[in-house]
Amino acid sequence: MINEVVEVKEYLSGKNISKRILYRICYLLAKWYKEEGLSQLEIRDSIFRWAKKHDVFIKYSVNNIIYKVLEDKTRLKDNISIKINKADIEEINRRFDKKNTKLTALALLCYAKASANRDKEFDISSVALSNWLGINSGDMSTYYLREVIDFEYITKISTPINTFKWDTSKQNSGYRINVDIHNSGNYTLKDNDILDLYFQIFC
């Protein structure tokens, strides 16, 4: 989720593949192959070879995904250092008790530090978030995201910031984080391992 290169390498090796986030997976794979210097047809062929290898049915227009990737001038995120400080931890403990709610808040904080704009706004798919954290997607929407919003850690905004990187489903939402997001501290998120970071901080 934060380090996209690590995320893509997991998909290429067959790890963490979920049909619920297949649009994002195909989008990131297309970016990976584009950065490898492949042509449009070679990108398409590579995605379908990957899908066949891992028994994945792609319901989306792969060509449309490739067109969007070609318009995207950003590179896959890599070597991003996300740090958590004492104030970050205090804000989460101030608001939440349950493990999964704290984990959700921590993940949103890390994602905001990596992706938020100047107004501390960012967009994320609740399904992709639940897949990252290993939490049931229904519980994520019904309980944990709701609690994080109710206790004013984040605010849902009317329009997602950058929807094309996710699916076009209603599960994409824009948020504003209501705490400081200074990227400093003694704890570091490594290779997207949010559970390891959580246990370092809260256990």
Q: Residue 170 has what pLDDT? A: 44
pLDDT band at 165 (very low <50, low <70, confident <90, very high): low
**Among 27-41, 146-160, 178-192, which is the least confidently predicted range?**
146-160
Fold of 82-202: Arc Repressor Mutant, subunit A (1.10.10)
Q: For 152, phi and psi rounded to 5 degrees?
A: 65, 30
Helices (H), the chain: 4-12, 22-35, 40-53, 62-71, 86-95, 99-115, 126-133, 137-139, 145-150, 194-202
Q: Residue 111 has what pLDDT? A: 96
pLDDT band at 172 (very low <50, low <70, confident <90, very high): low
Neighbours of 97 (CB within 10 A): 8
User: Which helix H or strand E contains 174, and what residues bound it?
Assistant: strand 172-177
pLDDT band at 112 (very low <50, low <70, confident <90, very high): very high
Q: Return d(Cα 174, Cα 142) in angstroms, integer.
A: 17
CB contact at 8 A, 124 and 148: no
Domain edges within the chain: 4-71, 82-202
Q: Residue 160 has what pLDDT? A: 58
Residues 68-81: what's their mean pLDDT? 93
Q: Which amino acid is at 75?
A: R
CB contact at 8 A, 163 and 27: no
